[in-house]
Amino acid sequence: MNLNKENILSQLEQIIHPEFEKNIVELGMIENISISDNEISFYFLTKKQKDPFATLIKKKCERLLTETFSSVKINIMEQKQQQNTAKHEQSQINYVLQNVKKIVAIMSGKGGVGKSTISVNLAVSLANKGFKTGLVDADIYGPSVPKMFGIQNTQPMMVKVENFELIEPVERYNVKIMSIGFFINHDDALIWRAPMATSALRQLAGGTYWGELDFLLIDLPPGTSDIHITMTQELKLDGTVVVTTPQPVAIADAIKGINMFRQEKINIPIFGLVENMSWFTPKELPENRYYIFGMDGGKNLAAEMQIPFLAQIPIVQSIRQGGDDGIPIIFTNDIHAKVFDELTDNFLKQIK
């Protein structure tokens, strides 16, 4: 066999890392191969600070290469993962998300349509039904999840796991919660620029010690920006849920959001659409419906764009109150809790 880079790589591809169960070339552990005067040298990048298999694998590399290309010297320069921040960060994201089954982003084009209200109640409802659930409040422009859970004065703890510095999520109503709101004060958020916002979000979802989860919901900032695209690609979203009111301006923005996720290079499934603030029902006239923002705007949109329709949620005082008091309505026995329960069942039907 000729001594060239291609042949060296094809040889090294036969070596499987016992822990990751992939070959070491595919894992990106081999870099900068150079050949000179019958000497092969390359960098050997370990995936973590202490890789118990490193010595074994290096020995295998040496043996295989000297056997294949007889009388050649092998020079392996080991580099620990820590020296490479970006790779370290990516392996941290992979580590904390390795036991998370589904990652679902809740999005809306327009702000104030009830994205956080839906995220919080869906999360608590999934937890009530026995699913291990986490929620990331990624709305850097208005993190409201801590307030909706009544935990706005909580400071999460740091933990060191393996080689990673991770944040311990705050648990409430059986939901593991992480919010940018734990770390910044409200006024700062407004002036954040996209690159900062993106790295903050990466830290939130990818720097939290989630453990085992059936669902990780992400309450995204409103709109369709670079942040959304980066987020969705780095975290490998399984799908999204769209929230809109029936009002034409909200619908127009929702369409932009749907089209963003449906772009060829993003192509993330839309599990469903929720129409919030569908009608107003006063407490003293529970049979009456006032269509303040128009009628069926979200329902019709879902039909037109072939998106599963999950629920119509009325405007009622108890939903607003639940948010302000830190007791999500789904957790109470208010009659309007039922609609969130149905929403969750419809959502689950789309996930299978």
Chain residues binding ligand ADP by CB under 6 A are 108, 111-117, 144, 276-277, 313, 315-316, 319-320, 323
**Closest separation in Å from C-beta 196 to Mg ion:** 19
Task: Select from Mg ion, ligand ADP, none the partner in contact with residue 315, using the beta carbon and a kind-dependent cut-off of 5 to 8 Å.
Answer: ligand ADP
**Closest separation in Å from C-beta 93 to Mg ion:** 24
**Closest separation in Å from C-beta 145 to Mg ion:** 8
Amino acid type, 216: L
Task: Select from ligand ADP, Mg ion, none the partner in contact with residue 52, using the beta carbon and a kind-dependent cut-off of 5 to 8 Å.
Answer: none
**Closest separation in Å from C-beta 245 to ligand ADP:** 9
Residue 244 binds Mg ion (CB under 5 A): no
| Nearer CB in complex with ligand ADP: 181/323 | 323
- DSSP state string for 305-333: TT--EEEEEEE-HHHHHHHHHT--GGGS-
**Closest separation in Å from C-beta 170 to Mg ion:** 17
Instruction: Select from 169, 166, 143 the least CA-distant residue to 156.
Output: 169
Cα dist. 283→76, 312, 317, 321, 326 in Å? 74, 18, 8, 13, 21
Q: How many residues bind Mg ion (CB under 5 A)?
A: 4
Q: Which residue has the closest beta carbon to Mg ion?
A: 116
Applying CB under 5 A, among 139, 156, 180, 208 the residue interacting with Mg ion is 139
Amino acid type, 273: L
| Nearer CB in complex with Mg ion: 139/275 | 139
**What is the sign of the dihedral through the CA atoms of 37, 39, 40 and 43?**
negative
**Cα(177)–Cα(272) distance, integer angstroms:** 23
Provide the terminal-to-terminal Cα distance of the chain, rounded to the nearest Å.
50
**Cα(15)–Cα(10) distance, integer angstroms:** 10
Q: Where are the alpha helices (DSSP H) in the chain?
A: 5-12, 54-68, 85-97, 115-128, 145-148, 194-206, 226-235, 248-262, 297-304, 317-325, 337-351
Task: Select from ligand ADP, Mg ion, none the partner in contact with residue 5, using the beta carbon and a kind-dependent cut-off of 5 to 8 Å.
Answer: none
**Closest separation in Å from C-beta 84 to ligand ADP:** 37
| Nearer CB in complex with ligand ADP: 90/225 | 225
- Per CB under 5 A, the segment of 68-76, 91-99, 124-132, 133-141 that binds Mg ion is 133-141
Task: Select from Mg ion, ligand ADP, none the partner in contact with residue 320, using the beta carbon and a kind-dependent cut-off of 5 to 8 Å.
Answer: ligand ADP
Residue 116 binds Mg ion (CB under 5 A): yes
| Tokens 């929403």, residue located | 343
Residue 106 sits at the vertex; the CA angle it makes with 101 and 108, to the nearest 5 degrees, is 160
